[in-house]
Chain A
Amino acid sequence: MPVTPIALSGGVVAIGGRPILRGINLTVEAGEFVALMGANGSGKSTLVRALTGLRPLAGGRLELFGTPFDEFEDWRRIGFVPQRTGATSGVPASVWEIVASGRLTHRRLFRPMSRIDRAAIDDALEVVGLADKARDGVATLSGGQQQRVLIARALAGEPELFFLDEPTAGVDLPNQYALADALGQLKARGSTIVLVAHELGPLEPLVERAVVMRDGRKVYDGRPLAHADVHAAHHESPYALHVDHAPRVVAPLESDQADVR
């Protein structure tokens, strides 16, 4: 019986004192392919950041692979693909070098790379279909190819649990198919995958479970929904208008008071 990769109960995240996530309960079992969905600002990216420890929890309890988060040290079991339009920095870097940095969870300080490390990097590049571009500078690749490089980087560490934050955002359709193909291979290998997506697109056949977020709360958890359902009808609040958390500033002598909510 494999351990449960993610168990979050009563998860609360506050940024600047304002609640962003409230009372989230989420358990992901080994081998699941979960899509976190919802509108912009619904808290889906924040949830992934909370699960990876990039955003501290203000309340609740998070366990990764059965270990309370504060004691969790086994980072090689986790692969993270951040939300990113590019993979470039101030200095050129080759595709191979970026992917190789995903191998650091397995390497010791001041030690050269082993043959196993190199094989894992080559394998990761093979899965995302960029083996022939290994020596190219990452800045010369298209946005979709750069996104695949970031996936290969997470893949090189041979993790069991993947977090992907909006992997398809701003990626052209051919690259979305390449991406779906790579994720399909991961799924076939038995990896647990949690991804944030606004729209599923070519990923749709892979998704087994959809978690829909709205206003920092989990509003749906179950079989994947058609795109229209996520954004419409029964998840919509009875109040047609979206209410901001920010207090509305209204002049005291505002004449058009009827419009103020």
Chain B
Amino acid sequence: MSPAELFAQPFIQRALIAAFFTGLAAPAVGTYLVQRRLSLMGDGLGHVAVTGVALGLLTHTSPTWTAVVVAVFGAAVIELIRERGSANGDVALALLFYGGLAGGVLLTGIGGESATHLQEYLFGSILTIDVTDVIITMVLAAVVIALGVGLAPQLFAVSQDQEFAKVSGLRVRGYNLLVAVLAAVSVTVAMRTVGLLLVSALMVVPVATSQQVARSFRTTLGGAMALGTFASLGGLVISIFASYKATVAPGATIVVLALACFAITWPIGSLLRRRRRLAEPFPVDPVAPVLHEECENTHDHQHGPDCGHLAVEHGDHVDYVHDGHRHAVHVDKAGARHYDEH
């Protein structure tokens, strides 16, 4: 089958639509999770959702819906444990996560389903997605994106500083619950694309990539959504082409592609951060005069914007930093020129 024929197939088109919506929605929520330093929450919800899928298989109802219900319930419990802020919070979360995974495997066995059926959800099976599931994915993803982007100012404030948000009159508990529920919903949305065990990657890795180069929250959010879409569509297309030669799982390809993006941007990000740190202006005390020593003008060149030495702002002048010195040009009253060592 030629590539053109392949992409004309309805099942490929359904997969592309699902990948597009998943890639857009998952990082929209993931950004808030990373902001709260809860990057692994998506992973935990993925584990809990396994029980939901197994319940669906056992009762012969749509596993997507049962997964949504169980994951939302799990998210509420996690949020409750987190809010109480007890020292054993992370142990309680671990119990919940492994309980979810074990419960799922157990229920699948009881229901007489083979493990391969569950595996579709664990590792994703985007190419077998049917029309109903595509529509559910689209609707849920649209809800997640609308709330995640539309309520961005409020969610940003609550995730940034809960106490301030509370004194601003925001219903902090409600917004916390909303983020948890949105995370649960996007986990189930992404479950068919990358699978429950890799869900968190699509929520977190694009954010980690985007924040390497971004300076503001908005660019981080926008960049993460763009990168998530690129990774999930790109990974899907790569896996389709690669399938001529070998068995390539789309879910894993998507995650590997997202990680590759991170691997490329990380050195750029650390270089940018290093340069920004070096160019940080030196502090000036408004009361006390700046201490300095005069030093001989023994340089082989005059310091200036083009001399190649690091120029750092220092109050009303510029210090040139080289070999552990901070030199500022100083012209005294007689017109003679020397350097001040600051």
Whole-angstrom CA separation of A97 from B165 in the bound complex: 14
Q: Which of A92, A107, A177 contacts B153 (CB 8 A)?
A: A107
Question: Residue among B36, B151, B153, B214 with the most chain A CB within 10 A?
Answer: B153
Cα distance A172–B166 when bound, in Å? 29
Residue A80, interface by CB 8 Å: yes
Binary B-proximity of A87-121 (CB < 8 A = 1, otherwise 0): 10111111011101110110101100000000000
Find chain A residues with CB under 8 A from B220 CB: 91-92
- B167 CB contact (under 8 Å) in A53, A89, A92, A96: A53
CB contacts (< 8 Å) of B156 on chain A: these are: 93, 97, 101
Specify which of A89, A107, A154 is in contact with B36 (CB 8 Å cutoff): A89
Task: Please give the residue numbers on chain B whose beta carbons come within 8 Å of chain A beta carbons, in ascending order.
Answer: 31, 34-37, 39, 150-151, 153-154, 156-157, 159-161, 163-170, 207, 211, 214-218, 220, 276-277, 280, 283-287
Partner of A82, one of B35, B159, B164: B164
Q: Is the CB of A92 within 8 A of B161?
A: no
Assuming A104-B168, A174-B285, A174-B286, is B216 touching A96 (CB within 8 A)? yes
Q: Are the C-beta atoms of A53 and B160 separated by less than 8 Å?
A: no
**CB distance A94 to B215 under 8 Å?**
yes
By beta carbon, the residue of chain B nearest A82 is B163
The answer to whether B287 touches A177, judged by C-beta atoms less than 8 angstroms apart, is: yes
Q: Which residues of A contact B161 (CB under 8 A)?
A: 82, 84, 87, 89, 101
User: Is the beta-carbon distance between A101 and B280 smaller than 8 angstroms?
Assistant: no
Query: Which residue from chain A places its CB closest to the CB of B285 in the assembled complex?
Result: A174
Question: Which residues of A are at the interface with B, using a C-beta cutoff of 8 A?
Answer: 52-54, 73, 75-76, 78, 80, 82, 84, 87, 89-94, 96-98, 100-102, 104-105, 107, 109-110, 135-137, 140, 142, 150, 153-154, 157, 163, 172-174, 177
Query: Given A92-B220, A140-B276, does the pair A100, B153 have CB atoms closer than 8 Å?
Result: yes
In contact, A89 and B285 (Cβ under 8 angstroms): no
Partner of A53, one of B36, B166, B207, B284: B166
Q: How far is the CB of A3 from chain B (nearest CB, A)?
A: 18
Chain A residues with CB under 8 Å of B166's CB are 53-54
Task: Give the chain B neighbours of A101 by CB distance below 8 A.
Answer: 153, 156-157, 160-161, 164-165, 168
Contact B160 A92 (CB under 8 A): no
Contacts of B280 in A (CB 8 A): 140
Instruction: Give min CB distance, A6 to chain B, whole Å.
Output: 14
Across-interface contacts of B36 in A (CB, < 8 A): 89-90
Q: What are the residues of chain A within 8 A of B211 when measuring CB–CB?
A: 91-92
Known A94-B216, A97-B217, A104-B153; judge A89-B159 contact (CB<8 A): yes
Q: How far is it, in angstroms, between the C-alpha of A54 and the C-alpha of B166 when the chains are bound?
A: 8
Q: Is the CB of B215 within 8 A of A136?
A: yes
A73:B151 contact, CB within 8 angstroms: no
The answer to whether B215 touches A90 (Cβ under 8 A) is no
Question: Across the two chains, which residue of chain B brings its CB closest to A91?
Answer: B35
Query: Do A75 and B164 have beta carbons less than 8 Å apart?
Result: no
